[in-house]
Amino acid sequence: MTEKSDFLERDSEHNCEVENGISSLVDEPKLNHELYSGKDEINDRNVLPEPTEGLGLKAQNRYLKAKVRVLLEENQKLNSQMTHQNDEIVRMKSRMQELEEERNRLHRVTSAHSSQLEKMKKSLGETRVHCNELETEKTNYKKDYDSLKRNSDQQVLEIKSLTTRLNRAIEESDRYKAELEKVRSSTRESVGSMRHNMDDLMAENKRLEKQKSELISTFKKQMKLIDILRRQKVKAVIRLEKLKSNKRKLPEMQLCVVHPFFIFLAEYYMSNPDLFPDLLSDSVLNALSLETLVRQGAEARIYRTKLFHSTYTFPCIIKERFVKRYRHSTLDATLSMQRMRAEVRQMLRCREVGIDVPPVLLVDVRRRRIWLGEVGPDAVTLQDWFKNLSSLATASDLCTMDIQEKTASRLRNLTTALGRLLAQLHSNHIIHGDLTMSNILVQQVDNCNKESDFRIVPIDFGLSSSSSGLTSQRLAEDKAVDLYVFERALTCGLDHKALSKITTDHADLNTPESLLNLIIKSYRDNYVSTILDDRQIKSKHDNAKSRGHLEKQDHEVKEILNKLEDVRLRGRKRLMIG
């Protein structure tokens, strides 16, 4: 501030000096004008020097003229000087205006600087106050940190002590567990002996009660026996009519009636395998002959063996779901159990509704094995059957007209049988889930009835499901996906060139699409007739109800086929291979 005030004082002094000089320059022309204003004044002041007094008049005139000339020259010089000084005055005025503007600007800058300085002083004071507050907070935080550090150290010590106590408690619990196991083993032995005694007492009690109530309950037992015989007679009549309506006869092994109690027992055993660890004892397993490996897939191995070969040899198939090492043991056991349960349940249900499937003989959950009745030594998969057909087509010398007609007839019978099988499954709301060409067995039967020329047996129900509890839309969706899986498997598994070669004269058989059309036609016809036959057996004299069921099932099969068209349009389903 002092430097700025000194500068302003020096500036004001300089301006005063400049103004004084300009005023003196302005007054000097007036003085010169007064000196040379007239001839009278020159004479009055005695300007002429004294030596001119003794001269003549002419000499004086010449002298005066010379002097006038000199004075005129001096006057011109003075005029030029005055002009130069006037210019200098103008420049000084302009310079003075510039200095005035600069002074005003400096005054404004000084006032702005002074206001900023005041603000900075105020901000400096606030900053110092805030700095002091931060210092106090820093000290408080440091105190809190020290206290937290002490608390954490104490907690670490407490955790260490708790860990040691926990280890001691674990050791004590292990010791108690060992003692508990000993107590359980001793208790189990005592309970076993007590149960044995109790069973003996209960058997004796039952025998006495039976003897006591024998005479009283004789009449009731006879009435119950009569009711049972009546029900069995009705069931036999229903099954006989059902077999007649299907126009085919199952082998003797597959016509056996599965009692609902044994179905319940098999499902309960598979749900609780730990309750029956010795259900399949070593004596039963030793009754099997040597096992021959037939095929191994991604999920299971297939063995061929004979059951009870000492008195009667019964050929059977063993399906063993082997352990997958790359999968977690618990997950592998859970998936295997679920698929075994689904497979056995669906096969038992298929046999209940009259679908030709291998009979379930034994189930060993512990070894993950299912014993099934062998379909036949000459049964092959659908894929192998078409391979044999392709090999027949490659032999060009065998492709005569008789062989072509016979092959075309077999293909028509096969498509009819396949459509009937799919209709039987879906009409009973059974979704196979994996209808590939390897999961359908074909056995050719030499029979006069050409419609029963083939025996079609579905296998591998591990991915199957029962959709009876779902909505009609979801049920139709599942059935359509099942049909589409079979369609893609059949399309990818067929040899198109061999098929067109062996059925040249039959346009409805020489392409996979034509075969699929025949299968869908058989599926549509048999879907309605199968359900209608079942309903007619139950309500024999109700023709109006039968017509209502016919319309309902016709609508259902149309909905399934419409869903099949929707499934065909999906991109993700197009990538599926059989």
The residue ranking higher by pLDDT, 6 or 466, is 466
Tell me the average pLDDT across 14-30. 50
**Is residue 515 within 8 Å of residue 493, measured between CB atoms?**
no
Q: DSSP per residue over 374-390, as a string?
A: ---TT-EEHHHHHHHHH
pLDDT at 48 over 50: no
Residue 413 Cα distances to 225, 406, 418, 500, 515, angstroms = 45, 11, 9, 18, 11
Q: How far is CA 562 from CA 197, 465, 558, in A?
A: 67, 22, 6
Per DSSP, the residues of 142-173 read: HHHHHHHHHHHHHHHHHHHHHHHHHHHHHHHH
**Residue 523 belongs to some domain of the structure:** yes
State yes or no: pLDDT of 418 exceeds 70.
yes
Domain boundary among the residues 364, 393, 423 is at 364
Give the whole-angstrom CA distance, residue 483 versus residue 490.
Answer: 11
Indicate the range of 272-286, 309-323, 518-532, 562-576 predicted with least confidence.
272-286
Kindly tell me if the per-residue pLDDT of 74 is higher than 60.
yes
In a domain, 317, yes or no: yes
In which order are the strands placed within the sheet that holds 454-458?
A: 380-381, 440-444, 454-458
Max avg pLDDT among 256-260, 281-285, 308-312: 308-312
pLDDT band of 399, cuts 50, 70, 90? low
Amino acid letter, 335: L
Instruction: Give the pLDDT of residue 578.
Output: 43
pLDDT at position 445, please?
Answer: 74
What are 489-536's pLDDT values in tens digits?
Answer: 988 888 777 777 777 777 777 788 888 999 999 999 888 776 555 545
| pLDDT the model gives residue 86 | 92
pLDDT at 70 over 90: yes
The band of 39, judged by pLDDT with boundaries at 50, 70 and 90, is very low
As a whole number of angstroms, the distance between CA 491 and CA 485 comes to: 10
Cα 312 versus chain centre, distance: 55
Q: Does residue 348 share a domain with residue 459?
A: no
39-48, 126-135, 511-520: least confidently modelled range: 39-48
Q: Return the pLDDT at 396.
A: 53
More confident of the two residues 210 and 123: 123
Q: Is the pTM of this model over 0.75?
A: no
In sequence order, the 6+-apart residues with CB closer than 8 A to the CB of 459 are 357, 358, 439, 440, 441
List the single range of 39-43, 424-428, 505-509, 564-568 with lowest mean pLDDT.
Answer: 39-43
Q: Which of 121-135, 136-150, 242-256, 549-563 has the lowest mean pLDDT?
A: 242-256
Q: For residue range 337-373, what is the model confidence (pLDDT) as tens digits?
A: 889 988 999 999 998 888 999 998 888 888 899 989 8
Same domain for 351 and 442, yes or no, is: no
> Do the domain assignments include residue 460?
yes
Whether residue 559 is found in the same domain as residue 412 = yes
Rg, the chain, Cα only: 62
On whether both 305 and 359 belong to a single domain, the answer is yes
Domain count, the chain: 3
pLDDT value for 232: 65
Whether 475 and 564 map to the same domain: the answer is yes
CA nearest to 367, candidates 303, 319, 335: 319
Tell whether 216 is covered by a domain.
Answer: yes
Choosing from 194, 215, 238, the residue where a domain stops is 238
Write down the pLDDT at residue 139. 92
Q: State what percent of residues in the chain have pLDDT above 90.
A: 28
Question: Are 157 and 229 part of one and the same domain?
Answer: yes
Same domain, 201 and 343: no
Q: What is the mean pLDDT of residues 142-158?
A: 91
Better-predicted residue by pLDDT, 186 or 541: 186
Residues 346 and 481 in one domain: no
Mean pLDDT of the chain: 76
For residue 170, what are the domain limits? 150-238
Residue 279 lies in a domain: no
Percentage of residues in the chain having pLDDT higher than 70: 69
Asked if 340 and 368 touch (Cβ cutoff 8 Å), the reply is yes
Question: Residue 144: inside a domain, yes or no?
Answer: no
Q: Write down the pLDDT at residue 242.
A: 66
Does residue 103 surpass a pLDDT of 80? yes
pLDDT tens-digit profile of 244-272? 565 444 433 333 334 444 444 444 444 44
Please provide the DSSP assignment of 19-82 as one string: HHHHHHHHHHHHHHHHHTS-HHHHHHTT-S-GGGGGS-HHHHHHHHHHHHHHHHHHHHHHHHHH
Give the mean model confidence (pLDDT) for residues 146-174. Answer: 91
The upper half-sphere exposure of residue 217, i.e. CA atoms within 13 Å in the direction of its Cβ, equals 9
Over 60: is that where the pLDDT of 67 sits?
Answer: yes
**Cα separations in angstroms, 421 against 12, 256, 411, 418, 432:** 123, 20, 15, 5, 11
pLDDT of residue 190: 81
- Indicate if 385 and 344 belong to the same structural domain: no
Examine residue 138 and state whether it is found in any structural domain, yes or no.
Answer: no
